[in-house]
Amino acid sequence: MKKNKKLTIIGKLSEKLKCSLEELNKLSEQQTNYINYRTSQSTFLEACAGGGKTEVIGLKTAYEIKRWVNPNGGLAIITFTNSAANELDNRVKKYAGISASLFPHFIGTFDSWLHSYLLQPFSHYLTRYAGKDGDKSIRIILEDKHAGFLTNYTVNLTRGGQSRPIRATQYYCSPNWDNFDSFDEDISRLLTSQPLTRGEIASLIANKKKFITAGFATYSDAEMVCHQLLSAYPDLREKISARFPIIFIDECQDLSHSQIEILNILKSRGVHLHFIGDLHQAIYDFRKVDPSETRKYVDEHQFVNLKLTNNYRSCQQIVDISNTVIGQRIRVNANLTAISQTPCIIWQYDDTSFSQLPTRFDNLVAAHDLSIDKCAILARGKSTISPLKSQSGKKDYSKVELFVAAIESWYKPSRNATDLMNALEYLGRFFCMLGYDGNGSFREQYRPDSFNNIQWRQLLKKILCQCVDLYPFEENGNDINWNSWIPKLKTFLPTVWHELRGRTKEFAQIARKIRVPNGEGNNSVKSALQNAVIENRFRTTTIHSVKGETLDAVLLVSHKNRLSKGGHFSHWLRDGNHEEEHIRFAYVACSRPKHLLVIATPVLSQDELNRLINLGFIYQP
Ligand SMILES: Nc1ncnc2c1ncn2[C@@H]1O[C@H](COP(=O)(O)OP(=O)(O)OP(=O)(O)O)[C@@H](O)[C@H]1O
């Protein structure tokens, strides 16, 4: 795109939108092109992770809303979660000054759109549901619901001589009643491992119809009913198509087969579909979502394929590793400057060191001055996360508190062997964070590479002995407060800093970090030793729950057992096979952080370790 063309487009956008020229100028040519692209043709905006989809779809829909002239029909902007819909609507409000839910437009989840415009107003014509007190709305029942009334809607399937009751909520049917499956793996096997008899098919259909006619439906049933409505009533098809002539689908990789079929009926009546997404981030296999169906659909229907191929979230090393995970050969350019020389790190853990992972991560995060609120510990499943969440007991200190804790442990009159070890560990951690960007062996008092084990301990002891004037934390017989003690520490540290061989930071570069803890100025230094925070302070959660987010640092923890379903690091890195969902999970996790990506694995063989190192990770013992 010529520079003049981009300027013309952003000039046009800034007239319509509440967005300065300066802000719009940051958009890439690909982003500008998409925002300006005509809506009268179905398109697929295929974006890489961190490509700025959310930003772009916010601007695009705000722009279309501002120039919308049709009073009877509007845009449908569809997402898959309420939080994504709210986020998008906030952007539309920011840029267009009005909500995207203002008539004639719609913004919300696929389900809420379908239920509001098709299922609730029209389904009773098809299902003949009589309603209650004049209310003919359908009640959605979750698939895994076990309420007693569901025994009235049960069908028995006999396999291997055993009869198995299946509730109407536990299976779903295709709109033509010729295909049956379930989200429950066991029931899915029952339904699909051998052909159903005619009698079984008839029972499954009758049971499902009885359930729906009584005014109930699962989310899948709701989609089936809507599909049947659109197929059975041409007027309704025309009406919905005229009501929403343009439909945007954010995160289109999450579309299920039946949702694509519904959209296709509308497309055949002239609706223009605008898919936006990243097929590598499809992680809804448990809902039988297969991103290759979306790919096939857009290809077969000749959508205009537009792309966002620059990553605005992460530094280049993180982008490269994320792309290697999915076997992406075309280089994706990062637009963020790395803040660390080693943004991609491997740690190994054993049964003892597993529980120390959050503390280790805490040190790394603190050493890079990142905010804990924007960092997360991630795993595929809850069984890996739970033990990390529930640890307690060990105290965690801020940087200057570490120094205080070190000299307290060293000088206290009743010092025992544990105090000695703690003193070395606290001081080692302090210097590792401030002098070595957090790169040190946490098993050896955070020893940096430039020292051997003995040399490092000797240096720490020597410095502790030199701190004699900083202890006890008293002045003229009274407890000293932080305001008075920090200047003493600031005078002391430069006298020993030169001893930190191979340091990555000079004292002048970190001096501002030697400061009074927030709001503690008038409190006694001794009080820090009682008020320390209990770890783990990180948000510790599943990969699923951070989809769509931008984080500063991520610690991705592998399950220790290879047999775990998709949770072991070996499932995330499979040569030549990049289609598995496990790989997409790894991709989502690896592509969240801006600055630091750490993978913690159980102890690796040399081959495994080399493989990770070849991918671009740096191993930190
Ligand atoms: N042109 C741009 N210049 C600078 N920053 C940008 C630009 N476009 C997007 N960003 C920023 O990049 C980050 C990632 O953007 P966004 O979250 O929209 O990506 P995404 O495509 O939705 O990513 P994902 O699919 O991986 O969740 C955000 O912090 C966003 O503000």
Q: What is the pLDDT of residue 393?
A: 41
In which element (H, E) is residue 144 found? none
Residue 578 has pLDDT above 70, yes or no: no
Q: How far is the CA of 483 from the centre of ligand 1 (A)?
A: 42
Of 82-91, 283-292, 495-504, the range with the lowest mean pLDDT is: 283-292
Q: What is the pLDDT of residue 574?
A: 66
**Annotated binding residue at 513?**
no
Q: Residue 494 corresponds to which tokens in the numbers above?
A: 């430069």
Name, of 245-249, 424-428, 453-457, the range with top average pLDDT: 245-249
**Average of per-residue pLDDT across 2-13:** 86
The answer to whether the CB of 334 is under 6 A from ligand 1 is no
The answer to whether the CB of 591 is under 6 A from ligand 1 is yes
Q: How confident is the model at residue 90 (pLDDT cuts 50, 70, 90)?
A: very high
Percent of the chain exceeding pLDDT 70 equals: 96
Is-contact 80 87, C-beta < 8 A? no
Of 325-339, 547-561, 594-608, the range with the lowest mean pLDDT is: 325-339
The answer to whether the CB of 47 is under 6 A from ligand 1 is yes
Q: What is the pLDDT of residue 417?
A: 73
The answer to whether the CB of 132 is under 6 A from ligand 1 is no
Q: How confident is the model at residue 160 (pLDDT cuts 50, 70, 90)?
A: confident
Q: What is the pLDDT of residue 57?
A: 96
**Annotated binding residue at 54?**
yes
Query: pLDDT per residue over 549-575, tens digit each?
Result: 999 999 999 998 877 777 888 787 766
Residue 76 has pLDDT above 90, yes or no: yes
Strands (E), 283-406: 304-308, 310-315, 333-336, 344-349, 375-379, 395-396
CA distance linking residue 392 with residue 85, whole number of Å: 37
The answer to whether the CB of 50 is under 6 A from ligand 1 is yes
Query: pLDDT per residue over 36-45, tens digit each?
Result: 999 999 999 9
Q: What is the pLDDT of residue 390?
A: 56
Q: How confident is the model at residue 348 (pLDDT cuts 50, 70, 90)?
A: very high
Residues 6+ apart with CB under 8 A from 386: none
**Average of per-residue pLDDT across 225-251:** 97
Alpha-helix runs per DSSP H in 368-516: 382-389, 399-411, 417-435, 453-466, 482-497, 507-510
The answer to whether the CB of 26 is under 6 A from ligand 1 is yes
Q: Which atom of ligand 1 is nearest to the CA of 592?
A: 26
Give, using CA atoms, the residue closest to atom 9 of ligand 1.
52
Q: How confident is the model at residue 477 (pLDDT cuts 50, 70, 90)?
A: confident
Is-contact 519 398, C-beta < 8 A? no
Q: What is the pLDDT of residue 273?
A: 98
**Annotated binding residue at 47?**
yes
Residue 530 has pLDDT above 70, yes or no: no
Q: Kindly give the pairing relationship between strand 172-173 and strand 180-181.
A: antiparallel
Residue 299 has pLDDT above 90, yes or no: yes
According to DSSP, the residues that pair with 598 across neighbouring strands are: 345, 555
**Annotated binding residue at 50?**
yes
The answer to whether the CB of 313 is under 6 A from ligand 1 is yes
Of 114-128, 180-194, 325-339, 381-395, the range with the lowest mean pLDDT is: 381-395
Q: What is the pLDDT of residue 394?
A: 44
**Annotated binding residue at 53?**
yes
Residue 421 has pLDDT above 60, yes or no: yes
Q: How far is the CA of 31 from the centre of ligand 1 (A)?
A: 11
Residue 619 to residues 209, 345, 561, 583: CA-CA distances in angstroms?
59, 6, 21, 21
**Average of per-residue pLDDT across 212-220:** 94
Q: Which atom of ligand 1 is nearest to the CA of 591?
A: 26
The answer to whether the CB of 550 is under 6 A from ligand 1 is yes
Q: How confident is the model at residue 576 (pLDDT cuts 50, 70, 90)?
A: low
Query: pLDDT per residue over 243-271, tens digit each?
Result: 999 999 999 999 999 999 999 999 999 99
Q: Which atom of ligand 1 is nearest to the CA of 27?
A: 1
Q: How far is the CA of 571 from the centre of ligand 1 (A)?
A: 28
Q: Residue 371 corresponds to which tokens in the numbers above?
A: 């905010």
Q: Domains in the chain, start-ordered, CATH in brackets?
A: 29-116+235-308 (3.40.50.300), 139-214 (no CATH), 315-393+535-619 (3.40.50.300), 397-515 (no CATH)
Residue 283 has pLDDT above 60, yes or no: yes
Name, of 360-364, 392-396, 411-415, the range with top average pLDDT: 360-364
CA distance linking residue 532 with residue 515, whole number of Å: 17
The answer to whether the CB of 312 is under 6 A from ligand 1 is yes
**Average of per-residue pLDDT across 452-470:** 92
In which element (H, E) is residue 226 found? helix 219-232
**Average of per-residue pLDDT across 263-290:** 92
Q: What is the pLDDT of residue 351?
A: 83
| Phi, psi torsion values for 439, nearest 5 degrees | -90, 100
Residues 6+ apart with CB under 8 A from 465: none
Query: pLDDT per residue over 103-123, tens digit each?
Result: 999 999 999 999 999 999 999
Residue 531 has pLDDT above 60, yes or no: no
The answer to whether the CB of 309 is under 6 A from ligand 1 is no
Q: How confident is the model at residue 533 (pLDDT cuts 50, 70, 90)?
A: very low
Q: What is the pLDDT of residue 392?
A: 41
